[in-house]
Amino acid sequence: MNTFERIGDWLLVKTQTVGAMFVFYGRTMARTIRRRPRGKLVYEQMMRLGVESIGVVTMTALFTGMVIALQSVNSLKVFGAEAYVGGMVSVLFARELGPVLTAIMLAGRVGAAMAAELGTMRVTEQIDALETLASDPFRYLVAPRIIAMAIMAPALTALAMGVAQVGSFFVCTVLADVDPGVYIAELDAFSDIWDIVSGLIKAFAFGQVLTLISCYYGFSTFGGAEGVGRSTTNAVVVSAVNILIVDVLLTTLFFIAFD
């Protein structure tokens, strides 16, 4: 088999995987619309996927906001423009870093957990048992996670935006001696409601992507404990890569449509 045949086979496999994911997502949505999952299941997933992730998202956003502010202050101080750092951090986190960093942290934390949990249920035949008992595994296992992430991903992203701004404000006003009033004035001048809205739209999309991929790999697990580990790794890596791909697509779309 030559190089071109290997590339062709690889592309064929990846195309089939993407198609299978869309079928998986469509089946979940169809069954969710036809018969909504229990509110208790959705609430439990909101706690596990969202509320329990507040700590890691908060710490990531806080320190990232502080680092970006420090780097920006050092660069803009040459021009006497360090007061603009607040606006820069606000736009950067609202449009890009807030949704992307939050989604990647969620992929590492809850994406891996979803793939491992569902993968274990698959190899131990618990999912098969649900189907045997005429219980829809999509309704009980996938739909609550998708709905919960649709709510919690934008909420966590909004939290990350605010926390990053707190870190930036601290760095600029305490370490760089920027006047708080000037900082807030420049923040207001730079910021626009569309920056926040576009970031929340991205967060929703990223949440759906990582949940779909994690659940798909969990349901597709085979090969015992080794297979669970393989599915978990694939879920995290593929989710992270696809989050960045979707980010490029949405940024391009927003730029063409609104900027």
Residue 19 lies in a domain: no
42 compared with 130, residue with greater pLDDT: 42
- Name the percent of the chain lying above pLDDT 90: 37
- Name the percent of the chain lying above pLDDT 70: 98
Rounded to an integer, the average pLDDT of 6-29 is 75
Residue 32 lies in a domain: no
* Residue 4 phi, psi dihedral angles, 5° rounding: -65, -35
Q: How confident is the model at residue 243 (pLDDT cuts 50, 70, 90)?
A: very high
pLDDT of residue 20: 75
pLDDT of residue 224: 81
Rounded to an integer, the average pLDDT of 125-140 is 81
Euclidean distance between CA atoms 91 and 9, whole angstroms:
42
Measured CA distances, 182 to 84, 120, 198 (Å) = 9, 55, 26
Residue 200 lies in a domain: yes
Residue 113 lies in a domain: yes
pLDDT of residue 151: 94
DSSP letter string over 199-235? HHHHHHHHHHHHHHHHHHHHHT--SHHHHHHHHHHHH
Evaluate if residue 70 carries a pLDDT over 90. Answer: no
User: Do residues 241 and 133 make contact, with C-beta atoms less than 8 angstroms apart?
Assistant: no
pLDDT digits 0-9 by tens, 170-189 = 888 887 777 788 788 877 77
Residue 14 lies in a domain: no
Residue 108 lies in a domain: yes
Euclidean distance between CA atoms 24 and 17, whole angstroms:
10
Sign of the dihedral through C-alpha 38, 43, 44, 48: positive
Per the structure, the count of domains in the chain is 1
Evaluate if residue 16 carries a pLDDT over 80. Answer: no
Rounded to an integer, the average pLDDT of 183-212 is 88
Residue 202 lies in a domain: yes
Evaluate if residue 242 carries a pLDDT over 80. Answer: yes
- CB count within 10 Å of CB 250 equals 16
Residue 90 belongs to what domain range?
38-258
Rounded to an integer, the average pLDDT of 116-132 is 86
Euclidean distance between CA atoms 45 and 43, whole angstroms:
5
Residue 17 lies in a domain: no
Residues 6+ apart with CB under 8 A from 49: 106, 110, 114, 145, 148, 149, 152
